[in-house]
Amino acid sequence: MHDSEQPERKPNPIDAPDTNNATYLGWSDIPQYEEWPADYHPPNKRDYFQYLDRLNSGLQNGPKYQNKRYETYCLNRWLILCMSSHLRMSDRLRQLAVDLFNGLPRSKFGVRIHVSALVTCGYVIHQHDPRRECHPQTSAEAFDPFVEQERVNLRIPRKQYASLYGKIEHRVRTGQLTPSKHDAYEVDPAGLQAWREINEEWDDSWL
């Protein structure tokens, strides 16, 4: 068979985690009093099935290898969600901030990640909430108090805020956004390891 006739290789599952797969490993259904020691790794029943769940979802490959790219994606997503909560953003604006933050080339900005998160939220608020002003040229009296307080708490200079705001504005205006796709199903990664919390909220079983 010639090289041109070789079948296309499928991506390794560890590089394309399937967070919406049909397999359910109910480690969160194991009550605490049944967490007895076992002769496998990890050394108790609940941790063992949680470990299998991570393997099945593509978050881990063996006891040591972690899917660092996906874990970093999740951490960045949680950061922008936390920041948007601090700034009292609506659900719609929070999702806009998450999408924009994911599409920005943050490593090229040369600032700490929480600076990018705050300025991203400030940009989204200013563009989509007419009641709140977050543009760097806004007067101190009119500037959004939640964004300003967070800027002060994080010790972000106004000059740095203004510089990054301009870079983000330019990226959006020129369409220079490159969103990363680590989860083809767009499932909130917080749900990957949250079966216990989900089950506690429901009276009936998950199944």
What is the per-residue pLDDT for 202?
34
Q: What is the pTM of this model?
A: 0.66
- C-alpha separations of 16 from 21, 67, 76, 148 in Å: 12, 10, 18, 39
What is the per-residue pLDDT for 141?
94
Domain ranges in the chain? Answer: 73-174
Q: Tokens 């070789």 appear where?
A: 6
Cα 31 to Cα 87: distance, rounded to the nearest angstrom: 37
Sign of CA dihedral 9, 15, 16, 22: positive
What is the per-residue pLDDT for 30?
66
What is the per-residue pLDDT for 169?
95
H helix or E strand, kind and range, residue 199: helix 195-201
Cα 80 to Cα 86: distance, rounded to the nearest angstrom: 10
Average pLDDT, consecutive stretches of 10 residues, N- to C-terminus, the chain (207 residues): 54 55 64 63 74 76 76 87 94 92 90 95 96 95 96 95 96 86 52 39 35
- C-alpha separations of 108 from 54, 76, 117, 171 in Å: 31, 15, 14, 12
